[in-house]
Amino acid sequence: MPIDPITVEVIKGALTYATEEMGIALRNSAYSPNIKERMDFSCTIFDHKKRLAAQAEHIPVHLGSMQLAVQKGLEKFKGKIEDGDMILFNDPYISGTHLPDLTLICPIFYEGKIIAYSANKAHHSDVGGKAPGSMAGDATEIYQEGIIVPPVRFVKKNVIDKEIASILLSNIRTPEIRLGDLRAQMAANLLGKRRILELVDRYGIETLHKATEEIMDYSEKRMRIEIGKMPKGSYSAEDYLENTGTSNKKVKIKVTITVKKNQLLIDYTGTDEQVNGPVNAVLGVTLSGVYYVLRCLTDPSIPMNEGCYRPVKVHVPKSTLMNPTPPAPVAGGNVETSQRNVDVLLKAFAQILPEKVCAACQGTMNNIAVGGINPENGKPWTFYETIAGGFGGRKGIDGVDAVHSHMTNTMNTPIEAIEAIYPIRFLEYELRKDGGGPGKWRGGVGLERSWMLLAPSATLSVLAERTKIPPWGLYGGKPGAKGEYYVIKPNGKRVKLRSKCTIRMGKADIFLVRTPGGGGYGNPLERYPELVHRDVLDEMVSLEAAKKDYGLVINSARMEINWKSTKQLRLTKSKI
Amino acid sequence: MVKYRVSIDIGGTFTDLVALNEESGEILNIKVPSTPREPAKAVIRTFREFLRKTSDAEVSVIIHATTIATNALLGQLNLELPKTALITTKGFRDIIEIGRQRRHELYNLFIQEPRTLIPRRLRFGVEERIGPKGEILTPLNKTQVKSLVQQLGRENIKTVAVALLFSYINPKHEREIGEMLKKSLPKIYVSLSSEIAPEYREYERTSTAVVNAVLTPIVSSYLNDLQRKIRRLGVKAPLCVMQSDGGIATKSIVSKKPVSMVESGPAAGVIASAFYGKLLGIGNILSFDMGGTTAKAGAIKEATPEVVSEYEVAGKVHSGRIVKGSGYPVRHPFIDLAECSAGGGTIAWVDEGKALQVGPISAGAEPGPACYGKGGKQPTVTDANVVLGRLNPRYVLGGEMKIYPELSEKAISKEICEKIRLELTEAAAGIIKIANSAMAKILRIVSVERGHDPRDFVLMCFGGAGPMHGCALAEELKITEIIVPNNPGLFSAYGLLAADFRNNLIKAVMKLMDEVNVKKIEAVFQRLELKGAKLLEKQHVPKVNMRFIRQMDLRYFGQSYELTIPTSKPLTKEVLKQAVESFHKKHMAIYGYAVKDELVELVNVKLVAVGLIEKPKLKEQPLHREKPPKEAITAKRKVFFEQNNDYNETPIYRREKLKIGNVINGPAVIEQYDATTVVYPDWMASVDRYGNIILSLRNRGN
């Protein structure tokens, strides 16, 4: 018997709400700021055939990896999972993201049979390995990046297996926090389980299965309609990572998108081979970029589930940067390569949907980790943050200034919270003048952020990108400013840092970051003079840059536009 | 002379004056169309009308709810923002623009930030620096401030926000700047972050000070003008304003701290529910208000409305929750509300994937639902209720509004049935079901998500459309009792008429509870009490009516969210211990765990200075028999109920004709001037001594 569309609609809402509620439970009961405040996690419900049924809008980098994780992670347990078990793992080659993301899956039983799964993944701020924070910028193999947990029954009969927990926690810095966060992940899954069983009580198992099937078909149908609106053809693009962390060689990502009737083929043939630095992106990360871009370019109100994947075929050759094989290190694949992947995909889509794509955003997350021994209490300290930059210009609007883009969206920590705990003092946190790529629609500017070390010494790690190859502009727009990292010694000497490095800092050393800007959109000589003038008054664009990049002449005494000279200058410039 | 307490609520469509006769408890309502460009105009009209209707009225107090603050921030209604400047620590003038560095929508390449309230060129860094312990690292450069003050004068700045790093611990530099500003530019408005929101987190504190600075000139001139005009009519009563926390304050206090009244209107319904709860002896209430365009839910736990300490002013709402980063954060107590676009006028439609959707677009007052016959072609929730026989098929509003059921049928057939294969009834029932599931979600947000079990609550249903959906929502949430107050359409006004004075005071402490010096903290509480008493005195609250509620914001050391814990007077070691105990308990209830051996940190000391007002009296009436009088049944018609999946011949009652004590077994429909109550088959309605309808779930056969 077919089921009525109203029930499908109500169950659709209930499944999505269950994943949102799981997220709230996880965030609220977690302990570490990474989960609590930065909300670096994802919650999902799967059907009995291990197909994604619902996923809450959490962090984009997990979008494509959950289905892989659930299907691969449960392979070895065929028939051997019982009610009350939960499976834990973080092996990137199974889970689809880097080691710090711990995946926990809970089978949901009804009358002795598995009818669904609740599952979540959360980024723990440490899983061991050679560097605090488990994000070493110079790892050459995955064993240096932290403890590898294969799929294990971490929870049996609703109780955490103490022996497995002790192996895990013995390999991790700050074990108390990690266990608290794992309990929060468990609580989230149990809530998802309860909500599914409530649905079964209300509608019956048959109706729930049928409705889930229809919800997936619905998403598939809507994705196909959206793809059907794109012009058919084949479109390629490439972009580069500037180095690998272990060598200065740049690495190419190439993608070819073929639009067929109601179907997309995405092919990464031409991408460079995997490298021995930590920038390899496991397949789950690569797929996440694909689904992120598709959600942005179609309709984000389409419910996220397996149906969304059906019209998209992705081919990523094995042993390449975007689909590496063990033991390639992968920690930076999540945070840096994932951003470049989006840049490449958007560059290709710019040929398909030129008015729906933005110019390149900052293209990095600017991962900064610093730590040492706090002289005030003799205890070790670690502070990790990611820093916003410029968003690319768009048709009709400038890029957003100083904001996180694409695959990340984590919050900053208040300066008043950092200084109260860590031995650092902030000197500056401002927008970066002339940082945005010039364009008819300007790229967003990045940030200038600097602080002084108050402790006698500390270790600083930088994992970033776009210090050599700037974020590109579109349709005549110019690139955004490149990223810059410095240590300024007490004697005033500036040391320029590489985008992936680990160094020692001394007392009163100053660390200064200038994050990249977004690329511009359209010819800067066509930018409305009033907008350039406004940017000059707001010190977002200097007088010199106004003249050089935008052909705008401003009378520096009265700060007014000289219309006549501007017209002439723009004319001359446009002929070059 | 008859004494009246008067409330004025300016809504998007109507401006309502509700006057309460303080002796008899009777209420009088005057409704005129709002005048958005000049809100005071409609208010004056309602007053004229009121004075005409009551020859010997003496107004004791006027309580006003207004959306002027939000409208100004949204850039609506030609409300131009005053020229505002911001003074910060040198190197940090962009904190206000960088915010928390997140974007408020993940999958939108065309995302835009809310417009910056102060352009960068009017944000100035001054040389000074205070450290995390309140120590002065760099003294304030007064020469620089002096020349800056002159520049602000030249630039014709109207209002200034001052927000320096760590000023919540040491406000010295902010105060010095404030004094220099006031001395040289006596007409300028000054908002110091250390006075407006003395809490840690530089972005949120700065944002609160900036919003306050921008609003001060707008709100004070609006309120002055309104009072002048009302006085001209001979009404000399003091003018009070409803604040976002559900308390009132006089005009002069709100004018200085307008940030306290940005969400002035929506709180009223929750306060009204709390007031009724007290009267009826019910402590736990879910307040549900459904009007023409939106539905709002709030929770009252143990007779106290739930509040949150931060709100995103002029922000967007996504599936019930306000989206962080979409508006301007303000630190101040706000009544906790969840909202969704489901009202009588919300439009139902079929999307590209052939799924039935309800909202978020509303048909508004013009053209309104199809059945109004004013040209609306899109089917709405109201149209579905007409098709299902729940709404009177001939007229509503006592005959003032004619209903054309055939237009409802046509709209649903054409827009829904023809696009997805559904019968008319199925489609109408589907619209209601989908709207109900969205509304059940907002009720869950304020209960389940906050650690409360809805089964422990009574549902208060009001607003024009609320009582029609009460039974369905209660069944969804497993609630067994519903109250439909006397005048569901005017119910929110009771919130204005029954609200106490409230002033919120706060002092940041940031100390581990183990290390707290009891004497010092007691002294902080006492200083706040003194301040609070002064504020209440200014508002003519007599000493006997003053109450001081002490609270502490606590968290586990290292966490970034605090919980507010009530505490008692005087502070002793024992009281501190109890506070920690309650904190563990609350943490357990909300977050599902507590860590007894973890260090607990005292973040803020808070004081609510309350000035009690005399509560309105409701008319009590003598009991009649259970059986309703014959004339109360005005008709029978076919009404659809999901339980039977069919139409049932259902008696229609006139609410005005029902007597106290009458009992009606569902299914039934009870109609009144401004609302319709639908009694589901398993429910029983009874009229209490105040005339409220109490709906209770009868024991089901199974």
The shortest C-alpha distance from B163 to chain A (Å) reads 13
Spell out the SS3 assignment of B534-589. HHHHHCCCCHHHEEEEEEEEEEECCCCCCEEEEECCCCCHHHHHHHHHHHHHHHHH
* Chain A residue nearest residue B166, CA to CA: A416
B132 to chain A: which residues are within 8 Å by CB? 416, 419-420
Give the architecture-level CATH label for domain B501-611. Answer: 2-Layer Sandwich (3.30)
Looking at every residue in chain A, the average pLDDT score rounds to 94
Name the one residue in this structure whose structure tokens are 């002096």: B146
Average pLDDT over residues A158-170: 94
Q: Between chains, do B102 and A402 touch, taking CB under 8 Å as contact?
A: no
Full DSSP string of B164-185: -TTTTT--HHHHHHHHHHHHH-
Question: What is the four-CA torsion angle of A549, A551, A554, A560, rounded to 10 degrees?
Answer: -110
β-bridge partners, B664: B685
Diameter over CA atoms, chain A: 82
Calpha distance A514→A467 (Å, rounded): 10
Establish whether domains B2-72+221-261 and B267-342+435-498 are of one fold. Answer: yes
The shortest C-alpha distance from A470 to chain B (Å) reads 19
Indicate the SS3 state at residue B597.
coil
Calpha distance A290→A253 (Å, rounded): 13
* Chain B residue nearest residue A31, CA to CA: B559
Please list the alpha-helical segments (H only) found in A51-161. Answer: 65-73, 92-95
pLDDT above 60: residue A183? yes
Average pLDDT over residues A474-493: 97
Nearest to B221 by CA among B248, B255, B261, B254: B255
Calpha distance B436→B430 (Å, rounded): 10
Q: Between chains, do A57 and B355 touch, taking CB under 8 Å as contact?
A: no
Q: Between chains, do B132 and A416 touch, taking CB under 8 Å as contact?
A: yes
CA distances from A194 to A106, B363, B671 (A): 11, 38, 39
B165 to chain A: which residues are within 8 Å by CB? 415-416
Two tokens at A504?
């020692």
The shortest C-alpha distance from A529 to chain B (Å) reads 18
Indicate the SS3 state at residue A542.
coil
Q: Between chains, do A394 and B165 touch, taking CB under 8 Å as contact?
A: no
Cα–Cα–Cα angle for B691, B694, B700, rounded to 5 degrees:
155
Q: Between chains, do B97 and A183 touch, taking CB under 8 Å as contact?
A: no
pLDDT at B78: 65
Closest Cβ opposite residue B103 in set A187, A409, A426: A409
B95 to chain A: which residues are within 8 Å by CB? 429
Closest Cβ opposite residue B91 in set A25, A394, A429: A429
Q: Tell me the per-residue pLDDT of B259-295, one tens digit each, with 9 for 90 and over.
A: 999 988 788 999 999 999 999 999 999 999 998 888 9
The shortest C-alpha distance from A388 to chain B (Å) reads 6
Q: Tell me the per-residue pLDDT of B66-90, one tens digit each, with 9 for 90 and over.
A: 888 888 888 766 678 999 999 999 9
Closest Cβ opposite residue B510 in set A60, A225, A420: A420
Two tokens at B431?
């619209």
Two tokens at A473?
């502009």
B352 to chain A: which residues are within 8 Å by CB? 222, 225
Indicate the SS3 state at residue A59.
coil
Sheet (strand A152-156) strand order? A52-55, A41-47, A113-123, A101-110, A86-89, A152-156, A159-160
Q: Between chains, do B434 and A6 touch, taking CB under 8 Å as contact?
A: yes
Q: Between chains, do B110 and A415 touch, taking CB under 8 Å as contact?
A: no
Calpha distance B202→B167 (Å, rounded): 9
pLDDT above 90: residue A390? yes
pLDDT at B702: 39
Q: Between chains, do B590 and A28 touch, taking CB under 8 Å as contact?
A: yes
Two tokens at B326?
């979409």
Q: Could you check whether the bond before residue B333 is cis, i.e. omega within 30 degrees of 0?
A: no
Calpha distance A40→B613 (Å, rounded): 48
The shortest C-alpha distance from A221 to chain B (Å) reads 6
* Chain B residue nearest residue A214, CA to CA: B355
The shortest C-alpha distance from A327 to chain B (Å) reads 33
B201 to chain A: which residues are within 8 Å by CB? 414, 416-417
pLDDT at A62: 86
CATH fold of the domain at B2-72+221-261: Nucleotidyltransferase; domain 5 (3.30.420)
Calpha distance A45→B221 (Å, rounded): 54
Name the one residue in this structure whose structure tokens are 């916003």: A388
A416 to chain B: which residues are within 8 Å by CB? 132, 165-166, 168, 200-202
- Return the number of CB contacts < 8 Å for A and B: 174
Percent of chain A beyond pLDDT 90? 82
Q: Between chains, do A6 and B430 touch, taking CB under 8 Å as contact?
A: yes
* Chain A residue nearest residue B168, CA to CA: A416
The shortest C-alpha distance from B113 to chain A (Å) reads 7
Q: Between chains, do B319 and A402 touch, taking CB under 8 Å as contact?
A: no
Specify the amino acid at residue B575: V
Nearest to B652 by CA among B639, B670, B626: B670
Q: Which helix (H) or strand (E) covers residue B73, if one does?
A: helix B68-73
* Chain A residue nearest residue B129, CA to CA: A427
Pairing of strands A447-453, A424-431: antiparallel
CATH fold of the domain at B267-342+435-498: Nucleotidyltransferase; domain 5 (3.30.420)
Average pLDDT over residues B147-169: 97
The shortest C-alpha distance from A77 to chain B (Å) reads 30
A432 to chain B: which residues are within 8 Å by CB? none
pLDDT above 80: residue B11? no
Two tokens at B683?
């429910």
Q: Tell me the per-residue pLDDT of A197-221, one tens digit each, with 9 for 90 and over.
A: 999 999 999 999 999 999 999 999 9
The shortest C-alpha distance from A341 to chain B (Å) reads 16
Closest Cβ opposite residue B593 in set A183, A426, A539: A183
Q: Between chains, do A394 and B202 touch, taking CB under 8 Å as contact?
A: no
CATH code for the part of the protein at B81-212:
3.40.1360
Cα–Cα–Cα angle for B325, B330, B332, rounded to 5 degrees:
140
pLDDT at B25: 83
Nearest to B330 by CA among B87, B96, B605: B96
The shortest C-alpha distance from A29 to chain B (Å) reads 5
CATH code for the part of the protein at A5-219:
3.30.450
A397 to chain B: which residues are within 8 Å by CB? 110, 112
Q: Between chains, do A221 and B165 touch, taking CB under 8 Å as contact?
A: no
Q: Between chains, do A225 and B165 touch, taking CB under 8 Å as contact?
A: no
* Chain B residue nearest residue A11, CA to CA: B437
Specify the amino acid at residue B665: N
Q: Give yes or no for a contact between B243 and B502, defined as CB atoms under 8 angstroms apart.
A: yes
Q: Tell me the per-residue pLDDT of A413-468, one tens digit each, with 9 for 90 and over.
A: 899 999 998 999 999 999 999 999 999 999 999 999 999 999 999 999 899 999 99
Q: How many CA atoms lie within 13 A of B247 on its CB side?
A: 25
Closest Cβ opposite residue B101 in set A17, A397, A411: A411
Q: Between chains, do B102 and A4 touch, taking CB under 8 Å as contact?
A: no
CB-based contacts of A412, cutoff 8 Å, min separation 6? A385, A387, A388, B98, B100, B101
pLDDT above 90: residue A35? no
Q: Between chains, do B109 and A356 touch, taking CB under 8 Å as contact?
A: yes
Q: Which helix (H) or strand (E) covers residue A297, if one does?
A: helix A283-297
Q: Which helix (H) or strand (E) covers residue A420, if one does?
A: helix A415-421
B130 to chain A: which residues are within 8 Å by CB? none
pLDDT above 60: residue B489? yes
Two tokens at A294?
């598709």
Q: How many CA atoms lie within 13 A of B246 on its CB side?
A: 29
pLDDT at A421: 86
Handedness of CA A415, A416, A419, A422 (dihedral sign): negative
The shortest C-alpha distance from A355 to chain B (Å) reads 10
pLDDT at A42: 92
Specify the amino acid at residue B228: R
pLDDT at A321: 98
Work out the end-to-end distance of chain A between its first and last CA atoms, rounded to an integer number of angstroms: 70
A57 to chain B: which residues are within 8 Å by CB? 106-107
Two tokens at A389?
């930059």
pLDDT above 50: residue B701? no
Pairing of strands B304-305, B546-556: unpaired
A420 to chain B: which residues are within 8 Å by CB? 132, 200, 510
How confident is residue B558, by pLDDT bands cut at 50, 70 and 90?
confident
Looking at every residue in chain B, the average pLDDT score rounds to 93
Full DSSP string of B207-232: HHHHHHHHHHHHHHHHHHHHHHHHHH
Two tokens at B324?
């962080």
Ranges of each domain in chain A: 5-219, 358-527, 528-575
CA distances from B279 to B276, B328, B487, B618 (A): 5, 37, 16, 9
Q: Give yes or no for a contact between A90 and A127, defined as CB atoms under 8 angstroms apart.
A: yes
Ranges of each domain in chain B: 2-72+221-261, 81-212, 267-342+435-498, 346-429, 501-611
Tell me whether 0.90 is exceeded by the ipTM. Answer: yes
How confident is residue A231, by pLDDT bands cut at 50, 70 and 90?
very high
A25 to chain B: which residues are within 8 Å by CB? 592
Q: Between chains, do B98 and A17 touch, taking CB under 8 Å as contact?
A: no
B106 to chain A: which residues are within 8 Å by CB? 57, 60, 300, 409
Q: Between chains, do A13 and B113 touch, taking CB under 8 Å as contact?
A: no
Two tokens at A285?
């990360």
Full DSSP string of B101-169: S--S-TT-TT--PPPPSS-GGGEEEES-EE-TTS-EEE---HHHHHHHHHHHHHTT--EEEEE-TTTTT
Calpha distance B558→A510 (Å, rounded): 26
Closest Cβ opposite residue A400 in set B91, B113, B449: B113
The shortest C-alpha distance from A360 to chain B (Å) reads 11
pLDDT above 80: residue B156? yes
Measure CA B486 to chain center.
21
Nearest to B621 by CA among B692, B695, B696, B674: B692
Q: Give yes or no for a contact between B356 and B342, defined as CB atoms under 8 angstroms apart.
A: no
Calpha distance B601→B200 (Å, rounded): 13
Measure CA B427 to chain center.
33
